[in-house]
């Protein structure tokens, strides 16, 4: 290849790398999912969420994801959650995904919750790490709750979000306390991003999927 050809090839490579970088910035860093307010007001509020094995629609139909229900009862593909300050927030999570398992058994315990944690109406103190599908964790508030996965062979499993209560799921209910106003990151700590290195890429690092922001207002 002559000098002109080499220069052209290098330029094409640089342009391709720049295009990939721009795609990453736009797709992962600049796109902000909608926010969803909790139901109720201080000193008590409620959040209702669901986790799904695959979103089922664009831009990433095969990505695992959280969804939130707004005060009007509509499911929203958004993980920016607004809750009142200095309040008890009761969270109900409908968990539709199968188990992936935890790499660190520490995450099988319940941390930062107030009162009992129930799974399908039964209070439990810890979860077998191998049964976890996802976690709901707010590190800055010390909150971490593992979510029990549905059985691999459970009938009528959900494939397209939002899922319904007629489809196979587990219901997890817990309460945590908010303090002063601020914005706190929350996320799942189960390596559930199939097809990504170590299971922690893609949806695990993207707002609107397996992590989000808790806006305490």
H and E: helices and strands count for the chain? 1, 14
Among 28-32, 48-52, 135-139, 177-181, which stretch is predicted with the lowest mean pLDDT? 28-32
β-bridge pairing 211-216 and 170-177: unpaired
Considering the domain architecture, whether residues 82 and 45 belong to the same structural domain is answered as: yes
Q: How confident is the model at residue 104 (pLDDT cuts 50, 70, 90)?
A: confident
Do both 70 and 137 map to the same domain? yes
pTM assigned to the model? 0.84
The arithmetic mean of pLDDT across residues 38-54, rounded, is 97
Report the pLDDT value the prediction gives residue 191, as an integer from 0 to 100.
85
What CATH number does the domain containing 199 carry? 2.60.40.420
Residues 10 and 85 in one domain: no
Query: Which range marks the domain in which residue 11 is found?
Result: 1-31
Do residues 184 and 97 both lie within one domain? yes
Residues in the chain: 217
Our CA dihedral for 184, 163, 175, 180, rounded to 10 degrees, sits at 20
Same domain, 97 and 26: no
**Together in a domain, 39 and 109:** yes
Per the structure, the count of domains in the chain is: 2
pLDDT of 23 reads 47
Domain co-membership, 6 together with 40:
no
Q: Quick one: 14 and 86 in the same domain?
A: no
Residue 16 and residue 62 in one domain: no
Dihedral of CA 33/142/51/87: which sign?
Answer: negative
Strands (E), the chain: 35-37, 39-41, 44-52, 65-69, 75-76, 80-83, 88-95, 117-119, 122-124, 132-138, 143-148, 170-177, 182-187, 211-216
Exposure string over 114-124, b if 16+ CB within 10 A, otherwise e: eeebebeeeee
Instruction: Name which of 92-106, 108-122, 132-146 the model is least confident about.
Output: 92-106
Is 8 found in the same domain as 55?
no
Query: Is pLDDT above 70 for 19?
Result: no
Instruction: State whether 62 and 128 are in the same domain.
Output: yes
Pairing outcome for strands 88-95 and 170-177: antiparallel
For residue 70 the two structure tokens come to: 């707004």
């Amino acid at each position: 290849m002559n000098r002109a050809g080499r220069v052209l090839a290098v330029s094409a490579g640089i342009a391709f790398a720049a295009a990939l970088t721009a795609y990453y910035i736009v797709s992962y860093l600049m796109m902000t999912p909608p926010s969803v307010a909790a139901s109720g007001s201080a000193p008590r509020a409620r959040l209702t969420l669901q986790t799904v094995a695959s979103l089922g629609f664009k831009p990433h139909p095969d990505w695992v994801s959280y969804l939130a229900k707004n005060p009007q009862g509509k499911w929203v593909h958004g993980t920016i959650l607004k809750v009142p300050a200095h309040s008890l927030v009761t969270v109900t999570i409908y968990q539709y995904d199968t188990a992936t398992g935890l790499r660190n058994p520490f995450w099988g315990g319940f941390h930062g919750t107030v009162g009992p944690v129930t799974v399908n109406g039964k209070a439990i103190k810890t979860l077998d790490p191998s049964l976890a599908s996802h976690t709901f964790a707010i590190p800055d508030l010390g909150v971490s709750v593992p979510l029990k996965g549905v059985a691999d062979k459970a009938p009528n499993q959900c494939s397209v979000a939002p899922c319904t209560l007629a489809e196979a799921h587990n219901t997890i209910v817990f309460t945590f306390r908010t303090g002063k106003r601020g914005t706190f990151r929350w996320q799942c700590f189960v390596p559930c991003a199939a097809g990504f290195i170590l299971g922690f890429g893609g949806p695990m690092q993207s707002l609107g999927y397996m992590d989000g922001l808790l806006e305490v207002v």
